[in-house]
Amino acid sequence: MCGIFAYSGIKKNASQIVFNGLKRLDYRGYDSWGLGTVVNSQIMVEKSIGKIEGVTIDLPPSNIAIGHTRWATHGAVSNTNAHPHYSTDRSFIVAHNGIVENYVELKNHLIEKKYAFHTQTDTEVIVRLIEDKLTHTHDLISAVRSAFVDLKGRNTIIILTKEGHIIAARNGSPLVVGINGNEIYFSSDTLSFAPYVKSILVLENGQMAVCANSKLDLLNIVDGKILEYVMEKNTIKDSSVHKGKYDHYMIKEIFDTPHVIDQVIKQDKHELHVFTKALQRARNVYCIGSGSTGVSAAQMAFYLRAIAKINAISLIGADAKEFNDMFTTNDIIISPSQSGETADVLEVLEEARKKNIPIASYVNMPGSMMTRLSDYKFMTNAGPEICVMSTKIFVSQLAWGYLVAKTVTGKYDEGIRNLKNLSQHIKSYLHDARNHSEIKSLALQLAHKKDIFLLGKSQNMQIIKEGMIKIIEGSYIHAHAIPAGDLKHYAITLMEKGVPVLFVFSNDQVKNDIINAMHEVKARGATVIAISPDHEPGFDEHIRVVDTNETSAIMNIIPLQLLAYYMASSLGHDVDKPRNIAKSVTVK
């Protein structure tokens, strides 16, 4: 995943600017960080493993620097493997976001040619390959172009030379350029430099940006042709990120939920109608996402089927490729995403785009590739989500999916009323301290269990999956979401005394099925914890939520998110940056 940030300009504290930029990108990976700058025609690098927060750097003043936060894919988390990586003669350094899928083949070839490798990263292959190309071309830009086209996979690189030039090339992983007079910024996302730039340029796949003497050139990587470009106005006003009075971003972002639902309510009505007309005409609708967004995509598909009677199928990003040959121009793909840069989903969308298959996206990060690939572009407008575990964006995606389904059936106004009601109830729930103490005490019990089961059905099936994801991400405890209807078919063997089972349900037509499953589990001695509007005999613990009717499943996710939060914090985990994961998964 990794984050790339660079600065070239008039200010003398380039390293500090880049360092601050990296802090805003560390949601993309926090295994290690590193940056390089040029002082008296010499490149100086500082890097370290671990998180960047609370660290200070010690690089001399200069007006150019590049930096990187790493989420290790190839090679252990170590200082040596941290980016940027020097060329052998120290004339340039390289930082990289992506995976060089053919790195073994390239590396073997370079070893045969007697190139020495000092790290275990795939990135070093890029460095040596450029060196090898240089022996033929003697021109760095041509060498980088030629090396870059040999790389398989989704890769973006940034290079700093001792002459003080920056070369960046994109094929897959995101890269945005921002300009303010004669200051040029590069970053993996727009938000990280939004306060400082007047205009932006999103690099397309196959493009290279060269920054020399405060001038920016855009090139086509394959043939080296100089490309005309038009900078877009930077319209992002609010990119502030503060925890405010909260201990963690996660809890702050859960508290943002009512506001986020209000943003869904404010979605452009006309655009929604245009889109829902297209949905009505579609043969199949495919909702695609990964991780928590895979779950929200599935809930969107559920709403489209259950409410709008549309043939909607959900796919997780990593598997959606199998459907490439099945997508037709009579279908619509819906792709929700926080970053709009999820690699496995993008790969599917790029193929779909080539075949003119209509795409709709619902993205939080402005200027993303997913939005650019879409015919129907919807923005979440939820403000930055900093905690790596998604909470408010997940709810926003569900609320949007619900509103889309209601609009298809001609019940837009009712949908809006129901979402307003939901937003109010979530607000009251979150601001009632008794709910927090109830969930905290449950969290303390569950935080020391080995396994936690979650059972649900129909509208709550994806809710228990998301509850499972949140518990796994935050607590590193094994959680397992089981369709209540499947309990008897296999999972009942695991039910025994002391096993905690969370039942999540609503006052709907499957309520009795869940109650039956609850008794079956209880008969085997397991502990029954229910999240539901009403109390039923047999509960060992009950987390009561208000019945918000059609949006009840969305209400149910709130106590699960709080549970995951209090479990993770009671265990002393880094709540906002759980181990081993990163937020924006731009590698496959």
User: Could you write out the DSSP letters of every residue in 358-406?
Assistant: -EEEEESSTT-HHHHH-SEEEE-------SSS-SHHHHHHHHHHHHHHH
Identity of the residue, 104 or 227, whose beta carbon is nearer to ligand GLU in the bound complex: 104
Number of residues that bind ligand GLU (CB under 6 A): 17
CA 327 to CA 259: how far, in whole Å? Answer: 36
Q: How many CA atoms lie within 13 A of 562 on its CB side?
A: 25
CB atoms within 10 A of CB 164: 18
Indicate the angle between helix axes 269-281 and 412-430, nearest 10 degrees: 120
* DSSP SS3 for 456: strand
Element (H, E) at 7: strand 3-8
Identity of the residue, 401 or 578, whose beta carbon is nearer to ligand GLU in the bound complex: 578
Supply the minimum distance, in Å, between the C-beta of residue 1 and ligand GLU.
4
Residue 2 designated active-site? yes
Identity of the residue, 81 or 374, whose beta carbon is nearer to ligand GLU in the bound complex: 81
Identity of the residue, 173 or 296, whose beta carbon is nearer to ligand GLU in the bound complex: 173
Q: Of these residues, 2, 211, 287, 387, which one is catalytic?
A: 2
41-70: contacts with ligand GLU (CB under 6 A): 70
- Asked if 264 contacts 382 with a C-beta cutoff of 8 angstroms, the reply is no
16-45: contacts with ligand GLU (CB under 6 A): 29
353-412: contacts with ligand GLU (CB under 6 A): none
Tokens of 265: 């309510």
Supply the minimum distance, in Å, between the C-beta of residue 155 and ligand GLU.
8
CA 521 to CA 103: how far, in whole Å? Answer: 50
* DSSP SS3 for 483: strand
Supply the minimum distance, in Å, between the C-beta of residue 73 and ligand GLU.
4
CA 122 to CA 588: how far, in whole Å? Answer: 14
Identity of the residue, 156 or 561, whose beta carbon is nearer to ligand GLU in the bound complex: 156
188-247: contacts with ligand GLU (CB under 6 A): none
Please write down the HEC assignment for all residues of 168-237.
EEEECCCCEEEEECCEEEEECCCCCCHHHCCEEEECCCCEEEEEECCEEEEEECCCCCEECCCCEECCCC
Supply the minimum distance, in Å, between the C-beta of residue 171 and ligand GLU.
13
Q: What's the residue count for the chain? A: 588
Identity of the residue, 23 or 449, whose beta carbon is nearer to ligand GLU in the bound complex: 23
Give the residue at shortest CB distance from ligand GLU.
Answer: 2
- With CA atoms as reference, report the closest residue to 126 among 92, 76, 176, 80: 92
Query: Judging by DSSP bridges, how do beta strands 376-379 and 359-363 pair with one another?
Result: parallel
Supply the minimum distance, in Å, between the C-beta of residue 76 and ligand GLU.
10
67-106: contacts with ligand GLU (CB under 6 A): 70-75, 96-99
Supply the minimum distance, in Å, between the C-beta of residue 582 and ligand GLU.
8
Identity of the residue, 98 or 336, whose beta carbon is nearer to ligand GLU in the bound complex: 98
Q: Which residues, 6+ apart, have CB-to-CB distance to 65 below 8 Å?
A: 6, 7, 14, 15, 17, 18, 35, 36, 37, 38, 59, 160
Q: Of these residues, 107, 465, 583, 588, which one is catalytic?
A: 583
Identity of the residue, 1 or 452, whose beta carbon is nearer to ligand GLU in the bound complex: 1
User: Among 37, 87, 121, 475, which residue sits at the site for ligand GLU (rule: CB under 6 A)?
Assistant: 121
Tokens 């690089």 -> residue: 59
Supply the minimum distance, in Å, between the C-beta of residue 354 and ligand GLU.
25
- Segment contacting ligand GLU by CB under 6 A, of 116-124, 188-196, 459-467, 536-544: 116-124
Residue 583 designated active-site? yes
Binding mask 305-324 toward ligand GLU (x if CB under 6 A, else -) reads: --------------------
Q: Can residue 1 be called a binding residue for ligand GLU (CB under 6 A)?
A: yes
Tell me how many degrees the CA angle 570-574-577 measures, rounded to the nearest 5. 140
- Residues with a catalytic annotation lie at 2, 583
- Contacts with ligand GLU by CB under 6 A lie at 1-2, 29, 70-75, 96-99, 121-123, 587
